[in-house]
């Protein structure tokens, strides 16, 4: 598909964009069976056997553009709901000749819930997720108990949710959730089907190739670093299956 954007250059997302044919509309059966719309996202790649990492909110695609050539044995799926960022990132990845990256224009939270089967993701990346600072907008934050349940469900045992934020108040909100989701004592927020602790905390080790003093080197990290903000980073690991 070709997007004509105001800055005068046509953005070409072909080959990178997940098309409507590849992800048809949700079937009617979804009403009775919430799993009826599941499609294995690994099948979107030329080498479906490779581990799959999903990025929520790819923005201009800097994380994907850096990671994909450095880790050719991994497949990356970027999910971005804002049309202009989506098109910019997909065009950028196409021009770079990336063969192990696809991009989907969608709400990543809904995608995870309705489309992604159990245990297919090795990593979920969430960098500088929108903080929605007003109380009445907190419901729009990506980090919610329901999201964490779907992150747990879609990750392989041993898989990771990797997260960086600059926002202190959103971080406190996240911490309150992570407290429950890493506790060995079940709270009512963690469904009975999920063994506790649902996640283990791990230190965030920056991926290969980021700049000195950087955590992930995304556009927002650079912008906020220039403004002198500090960052919080964490890895939540779904425990490996018992031997």
Ligand X SMILES: C[S@@+](CC[C@H](N)C(=O)[O-])C[C@H]1O[C@@H](n2cnc3c(N)ncnc32)[C@H](O)[C@@H]1O
Site residues (vs ligand X, CB under 6 A): 56-57, 59, 79-82, 85, 107-109, 127-128, 130, 142, 218-221
Nearer to ligand X, 68 or 197 (CB): 68
Phi-psi group of 57: left, alpha or beta (phi > 0 → left; psi -120 to 50 → alpha; rest → beta): left
Minimum distance, C-beta of residue 124 to ligand X, in the bound complex (Å): 12
Minimum distance, C-beta of residue 131 to ligand X, in the bound complex (Å): 8
Minimum distance, C-beta of residue 220 to ligand X, in the bound complex (Å): 3
Residue 164, class by beta-carbon neighbours within 10 Å (0-12 exposed, 13-18 middle, 19+ buried)?
A: buried
Nearer to ligand X, 12 or 214 (CB): 214
Nearer to ligand X, 75 or 218 (CB): 218
Q: Residue 219: phi, psi to the nearest 5?
A: -60, -45
**Of 33, 130, 166, 192, which one is the catalytic site residue?**
130
Minimum distance, C-beta of residue 232 to ligand X, in the bound complex (Å): 14
Nearer to ligand X, 93 or 108 (CB): 108
Minimum distance, C-beta of residue 221 to ligand X, in the bound complex (Å): 6
Q: What is the 3-state secondary structure of 36-79?
A: CCCCCHHHHCCCCCCCEEEEECCCCCHHHHHHHHHCCCCEEEEE
**130 catalytically annotated:** yes
- The full DSSP string for 68-136 is HHH-TTSEEEEE--SHHHHHHHHHHHHHTT-SSEEEE-S-HHHHHHHHPPTT-EEEEEEES-----SGG
User: And the tokens for 98?
Assistant: 């990336």
| CA distances (Å), origin 235, targets 1, 160, 215 | 35, 6, 12
User: Which residue is nearest to ligand X, using beta carbons?
Assistant: 57
Q: Which residues have a catalytic role annotated?
A: 130
């Amino acid at each position: 598909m070709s997007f004509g954007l105001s800055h005068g250059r046509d953005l070409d997302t072909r080959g990178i964009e997940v098309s409507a044919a590849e992800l048809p509309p949700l079937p009617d059966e979804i009403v009775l069976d919430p799993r009826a719309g599941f499609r294995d996202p690994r099948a979107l790649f030329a080498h479906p056997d490779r581990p799959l990492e999903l990025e929520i909110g790819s923005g201009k695609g800097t994380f994907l553009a850096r990671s994909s050539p450095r880790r050719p044995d991994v497949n990356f799926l970027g999910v971005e709901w804002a049309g202009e960022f989506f098109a910019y990132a997909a065009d950028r990845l196409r021009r770079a000749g990336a063969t192990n990256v696809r991009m989907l224009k969608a709400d990543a939270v809904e995608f995870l819930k309705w489309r992604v089967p159990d245990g297919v993701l090795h990593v979920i990346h969430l960098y500088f997720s929108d903080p929605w600072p007003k109380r009445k907008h907190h419901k729009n934050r990506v980090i919610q108990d329901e999201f964490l349940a779907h992150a747990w469900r879609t990750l392989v045992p041993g898989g990771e949710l990797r997260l960086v934020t600059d926002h202190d108040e959103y971080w406190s909100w996240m911490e309150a959730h992570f407290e429950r989701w890493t506790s060995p004592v079940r709270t009512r927020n963690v469904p009975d089907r999920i063994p506790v602790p649902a996640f283990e905390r791990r230190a965030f080790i920056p991926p290969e190739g980021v700049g000195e003093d950087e955590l992930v080197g995304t556009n927002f990290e650079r912008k906020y670093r220039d403004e002198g903000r500090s960052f919080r980073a964490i890895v939540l690991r779904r425990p490996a299956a018992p031997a």
